[in-house]
Amino acid sequence: MTGSQRLDALWKKGTDFLGSEYAILGGAMTWVSERNLVSAISNAGGFGVIACGGMTPELLSQEIAATREMTDKPFGVNLITLHPDIDNLIAVCREHNVSHVVLAGGLPAVSSIKAIKDFGAKLMCFAPAVSLAKKLIRVGADALVIEGMEAGGHIGPVSTSVLAQEILPVVADQVPVFVAGGIGRGEAIAGYLEMGAAGAQLGTRFVVAHECIAHERFKRAFIRGNARDAIASVQIDSKFPVIPVRALRNEGTEQFMRTQQEVLTKYQNAELTQDEAQMQIEHFWGGALRRAVVDGDIETGSVMAGQSVGMVKTEMPTADIINELVEQAITYLS
């Protein structure tokens, strides 16, 4: 069996589920994973995923329609479970007959799962632990994504390699499981496939695609960056929890540390209540991702990137990125 044949056999469960040529998903990145990049990934044989983020139902509807104008290949929509208008966003997916819906950002409500399953979409959910993986399958998840702390953006506490070892042997025979976080080369994809994964999800690698609309300064920051530059935000006091976010170190990350200390001091001096102090901390990064991605403010904006950023060397067409990943996987398996 050739390397190409082995690869096709290993990720057949994933390609059958996605309806794509390759079981490579584009990670849903807010402000980045929109019609241009999503359609480019799908057209190149992968599986693009629209990042709904904080979109209104009207904006999501426009984005789905625009993406359909740019590709006739399958793609999905990523919805945040805590979005205040989640029910109407699901309704938009139903109206557009979206084939795959990804729920992220927390344990989905039973009502959300039912609404998605009722219109025939395939449901994908993030599973950060074995117990949650089992529960999600019980309540109706058709596939899982396990994402390690090496990923960019909001992260959990466990590495990709550990999650894969914990979860794949337990549930990979029940539903397709896609591995994410810190993946930048095809050899890694092939390795996880051999462990039982159905495919892989990559985000950071696609930021520097020609078709990605991110600001040129944002892309250059990725090309200059290395794994050690992609750091997780730090919480300095347990009374004020901070959900860790992995991004490239810049003036913004340093200022965030100073802001936490200043807010903590004001709280200790009774100048702020605990709720007021928590709100100031949470509002620090408000709009920071948009400033970085859209406006190119890579000094004070949030340049969310995974640790695989060190493998991002040059801007190239999306199709070339995917072809390179596939060729690396084939060579590894040959």
Burial (0-12, 13-18, 19+ Cβ within 10 Å), 181:
buried
Placement of tokens 């944002």 in the chain: 218
* Mean of pLDDT values over 46-55: 97
- Is a pLDDT exceeding 90 seen at residue 286? no
Over pLDDT 70: what percentage of the chain? 100
Burial of 2 per CB tally in 10 Å (0-12, 13-18, 19+):
exposed
pLDDT tens string 220-279: 999 999 999 999 998 888 888 888 999 999 999 999 989 889 988 999 999 999 989 888
Going through the chain in order, the beta strands assigned E by DSSP cover: 24-26, 48-51, 75-80, 100-104, 122-126, 143-147, 153-154, 177-180, 199-202, 230-232, 245-248
Confidence band of 15 (pLDDT split at 50, 70, 90): very high
Whether the predicted model's global pTM rises above the 0.85 cut = yes
CB count within 10 Å of CB 255 equals 14
What is the rounded average pLDDT of the residues 99-104? Answer: 98
With vertex at residue 121, the alpha carbon angle to CA 11 and CA 147, rounded to the nearest 5 degrees, is 50
CA 289/CA 66 separation, integer angstroms: 23
Q: Nearest CA to 174 among 195, 198, 149, 209?
A: 198
Cα gap 329→334, rounded to integer Å: 9
CB of 122 closer than 8 Å to CB of 143: yes
The average pLDDT across 94-121 equals: 96
